Structure 1
């Protein structure tokens, strides 16, 4: 009996000793991360392992993945490679549940007792998860070192929003990312909102190892700009001949995104801005969400049973509610004016898109099918009364120079250009900022669609502000040079589809390339994503140029012939422009819902891969190599 008691006592002592060796750190503080998709809920330290309890947050029924090469790096510089996952298999897709939240554990080797902080990293993989400065010895983070330039500019509450000049010049942007780690990213893009030029592809900005950056760019007057980092849009203004300085507090940005740490003490502002309209930009970055179109899912639920008139009343009510909230904000008159303009912009866009929103609401409620969607949309459009859009007259701010200071104005110009004549009747004039910008944008876009200025456009251009004229004339001169240069280019070939039945069309197109792998790109000259993808794929095409791969580009008659001929010399490959009937047949036969769509055909003539939307050069390369039987 004494022997049994002794054994039990020893076992209990052993258990107590083991528990004493185990340390649990609940929701350890961290400095910065690369993504808010995963957070560390707790860390369990023991003599045998270091276990990170992870909470994942992502879109329901989509997957995330943890790389098997993930590791911890201690403040001593030592690394500890991932041993295993519990509830997740490294390198395997982890599918999120309906809730969009999940939990799993990552097991690493034990850490020495003198380690005070660690970094978690997936290593050098695209879109990798990184969490830096995870504290193991307390809840206090290292002091945040802000430069002396990180100041908040106050705005006189009674200052009105200035009228921006439309002038050409070069703006300079400089700044720094505080708490930056080179593993997070090596560059970001600055997006400009220039109404005439349309949507910005973004200006790439290289980040120095200390987090600093600088870039110069031409602008047409004081221009809204933004940097999107870690899911947050940082707003500021650029102006000709001036320097804008943007100091971004990554620590605060990350903590405000965190679900586990967002209620902790603030470490300052997300951003500190110096330069043109700095105080207004500072207030805009502090602004709570006032966009009546921000929660479209909720809006779809609320408008699902409405007709067009009820929808208009709903939008006008939302506009009034947002107006009241803006009036109560503790901001300057100038900042409130920007927000009021954006409120008018949002309401205008919603009214113009009435049929789209009501159709989407029916689709979301599953009261109509996708096949019925286009017919339902057309029916709604026809039912709109002749005076339906007259309400837009209340939103006259969209035709003022100050509207150019809203980052949303570019989309307004894009959306409303086709309604220019109708808006002239509504506003009682065809003069003003909107009409000038819309006319210039239409001409500018046609040049970017490889169509040089014609006489009618030249006549319209002569009536527009001098800056619009000079920028468009310079773009037109460059296009004319490019068209002449393209006449001498090789590497592309125009093919005829031939007199074949619709059923035999695709087989006939790829037949001459049998024995090779064929990448078929269904595209259009007017498709921005198609053209962006064509540029993004160039390095891959160069890398695989010695392989048996043929690039076939298929388009239809919606791509105007002259534009198509001017554009394709820069797209090396085999080109086909089929008839409307042939295009519609191919869309139906291959169940193609939009462009770009890609089909890979293997050496035997079988389809090995199909996707709508550019999947990225890496994915495309992987699928091509699979079709080539390369590992």
Structure 2
């Protein structure tokens, strides 16, 4: 009897095992976001079940798309979701401060055939959540390198990430390599690597699954481990020295582990707001089919910059004249990115210390109702807490000295910036609070009194340090010092307009009746600002003011810059910091270099001489010289008709788009279906299109895959003009060409196809009509 029972149990277990296969933490190639983890796959006779764990982004939401699907790799068949457990299909789950930040759920799909070894998971929308190459059954070893050597290896002596062996390629010495050959030896393996530049040989001996010794052709035999924790002992090359401003080229290369051309994206983007000229600079990263990439770009000073790749976006620290190799999607929980090269240590240090900063939403929570003195004490307490967190980390582990410098500067400058932004932060807190209140409960957003003398508590802020440039927070602080008029918090703009009026009167400028009435209203607002009256002013004089500003924009820029310098002096004096020196020089440099970018404005020798007098610091003065003569040479080359034109991918793409419109003036609008300001701008110029219906003017609308195709198809019939929906890669090329940093973005193209304004500002229909007709008349 017992024997019978035992046989029955074994049969039951065998049948169960055949009917259900469970894969915990399945291997996959790449995913589209770091917010979601695939924790388990269950294969039964009735279903394919995927278990997910999601960290909901702050102030955001997640939802299960009703058309979520799985798809066997190599097959076009999609299996759509049948049900969900743990969350409802199509229902948004919101981030709540006191309730839920994480959620786990299961998605059910029809069963897949028993011969399927890999599947993709996806959603049929832009910015979807995807997993590629999810392994749902055991796959035979497919790499020439033995299984025990596959993975990322770290030096047990220095802590550096030294090399990696993947299925089809290796990373070593800051480069990607193909396997030329792998031969067994008496004690290990000879692995010959090659790329387009060189060949090299590595002798590897596996000690166990997590340790090996390796010897390169000319190097010693060294021990390596798969323990990424060794990065904590990585040696750095000391703190930053001066001068920091030392323009040079950055060589940025890397490998996206698990990359597949099936992602439909073969480019990434470097988006850099150059703090020296306040201009956006975009550089396309071209990704090879094997997931490797390499790009060079210019940089004036060490900076943390936004990098967007198919594996996700992150901030990466670069230094002029230095190289950096970046492995993304490393599959290591604590180190999703690995770095090699001269800027590796500082990137690890910044990663280790990124939790030191108090998140902005956490900082503004509870500040509604705080009087200015209590708020300043709160800012100082926050600064103290951040310094303590940094010190604790420093005591627990070895932190790169450059990263420590950056974080200490960050803490100092962030605190001073928050002090200056008392009203701005309180108003932001009110805006978020009002989103949860009904109309009767809305909190009024009005300026609060602020005692300037409280800023003296920040007199130790190192705004004149030659090393301050390494902190992005420094440049944010400079912007606040420049734009924050704490004496006239709400009426500052109106004071600038009154100053412009006085200057124009001295020049005997004639004013229209509408303009005279407008200035009477402005005098009222400048003397006694009132929110309701300001709204009335905007409704009544909006078009008059736009026309006036367009007519006198050069004079307004000069007056605004004068006011901004006064703001800096006032704010620094309140902080008990002498205004003369680095901050004033940087603002003067920013103003000059921003103007230098304006191709329509002729180079002005007098302005060049003037800024040389203001900028006393040698390395900043050298930058003025370099940028002036670079711009001068570039303009001379562009005027030389015999100089061959080197076309970028963006140039070629845009030329192909506008080819059929040659002979017509083109108004280009980069937009998206989800962009409120874009749609408002489109609606606004509808009457203008009717006025120009008989003219050779084309209204060209360009969008990208973030505009869902079904929404796009619904909207374009109501938008008169020519429409193009480009791919994600094509959008990146156009972003680089036009230096797009946000949408809507407008450009103007003449009849010959030449871009006459790559950054056309939004303006009233009458002014836009004037510009279009001017181009038609040429």
Provide TM-score, normalisation by structure 2: 0.53
Gaps (5+ residues) in structure 1? 1-11, 257-267, 494-504, 522-529, 552-562, 581-631
Match for residue 512 of structure 1?
691
- Say which of 748, 753, 757 aligns to 1:570: 757
Q: Structure 2 unaligned segments of length 5 or more: list them.
A: 1-8, 142-146, 153-163, 165-170, 175-229, 483-563, 616-620, 642-661, 668-683, 724-746, 768-778
Q: Does residue 1:491 correspond to 2:515, yes or no?
A: no
Question: Is residue 399 of structure 2 the alignment partner of residue 331 of structure 1?
Answer: yes
- Where in structure 2 are the equivalents of 1:53-452 lying within 5 Å? 53-54=51-52, 58=56, 62=61, 64=63, 66=65, 68=67, 70-73=69-72, 77=74, 81-87=78-84, 94-96=91-93, 99=100, 101=103, 103=105, 105-112=107-114, 117-122=117-122, 126-136=126-136, 143-144=150-151, 146=164, 147-149=171-173, 159-184=238-263, 185-192=265-272, 194-198=274-278, 200-229=280-309, 230=311, 233-240=314-321, 242=322, 244-252=323-331, 255=333, 270-275=337-342, 277-292=343-358, 294=359, 296-328=360-392, 329=394, 330-366=398-434, 376-377=445-446, 379-380=447-448, 383-396=449-462, 398-417=463-482, 418=564, 419-425=567-573, 426=575, 428-448=577-597
- Check 1:200–1:572 CA distance in 2 against 1; reply closer, same or farther (3 A cut): closer
Structure 2 residue matching 1:189: 3-state secondary structure: strand
Pairing of 1:471-482 with structure 2 (within 5 A): 471-472=627-628, 474-475=630-631
Query: Structure 1 residue aligned with 2:626, among 457, 470, 487?
Result: 470
Partner residue, 2:156 = none
Looking at structure 1, the residues matched to 460 and 441 of structure 2 have their Cα atoms a distance apart, in angstroms, of: 34
Q: CA RMSD in A?
A: 5.2
Tell me the distance in 2 between the aligned counterparts of 1:199 and 1:46.
Answer: 56
- Is the 8 Å Cα contact of residues 71 and 120 (structure 2) preserved in structure 1? yes
1:549 maps to what in 2?
Answer: 721
Q: Is the 8 A contact 2:299 2:319 kept in 1?
A: yes
Shift of 1:507: 8.5
Kindly tell me: are residues 575 and 249 of structure 1, through their superposed partners in 2, closer, same or farther at Cα, counting changes over 3 Å?
Answer: closer
Distance, in Å, in 2 between the alignment partners of 1:239 and 1:335 is 16
What is the alpha-carbon distance in structure 2 between the residues aligned to residue 435 and residue 573 of structure 1?
29
**What SS does the aligned partner of 2:241 have?**
coil
Offset at residue 214 of structure 1 (A) = 1.2
**Which deviates more, 384-393 or 22-31?**
22-31
Query: Conserved in 2, the CA contact under 8 Å of 1:54 and 1:106?
Result: no
What is the distance in 1 between the residues matched to 2:71 and 2:415?
49
Q: SS at the partner of 1:51?
A: strand
Per-residue CA deviations over 1:399-443 (Å, capped at 9, x if unaligned) read 222122224444334333334223553464444443332221122
Could you tell me how far apart the structure 1 residues matched to 2:759 and 2:401 are? 54
Q: 1:570 to 1:234 in 2, by over 3 A?
A: closer
C-alpha distance in structure 2 between counterparts of 1:483 and 1:415, whole Å: 39
The whole-number CA distance in structure 1 between the counterparts of 2:612 and 2:69 is 60
Looking at structure 2, the residues matched to 413 and 189 of structure 1 have their Cα atoms a distance apart, in angstroms, of: 27
Structure 1 15/549 Cα, relative in aligned 2: closer, same or farther at 3 Å? farther
Q: 1:340 to 1:166 in 2, by over 3 A?
A: same
Partner SS, residue 317 of structure 2? strand
Report 1 or 2 for greater relative contact order, CA contacts < 8 Å, sequence distance ≥ 6. Answer: 1
Instruction: Return closer, same or farther for 1:41/1:126 CA change in 2, 3 Å cut-off.
Output: same
**Aligned CA distance change for structure 1 residues 480 and 162 (closer, same or farther; 3 Å):** same
For residue 289 of structure 1, give the secondary structure of its aligned residue in structure 2.
coil
Alignment partner, residue 44 of structure 2: 46
The structural deviation recorded for 1:70 is 3.7
Displacement of 1:304 in angstroms is 2.2
- Retained in 1: the 8 A contact 2:353–2:407? no
Distance 1:166 1:573 in 2: 31
- The verdict on how the C-alpha distance between 1:123 and 1:206 changes in structure 2, with shifts beyond 3 A counting, is farther
How far residue 123 of structure 1 moved from its aligned partner, in angstroms, is 8.1
Does the CA contact (< 8 Å) of 1:319 and 1:343 recur in 2?
yes
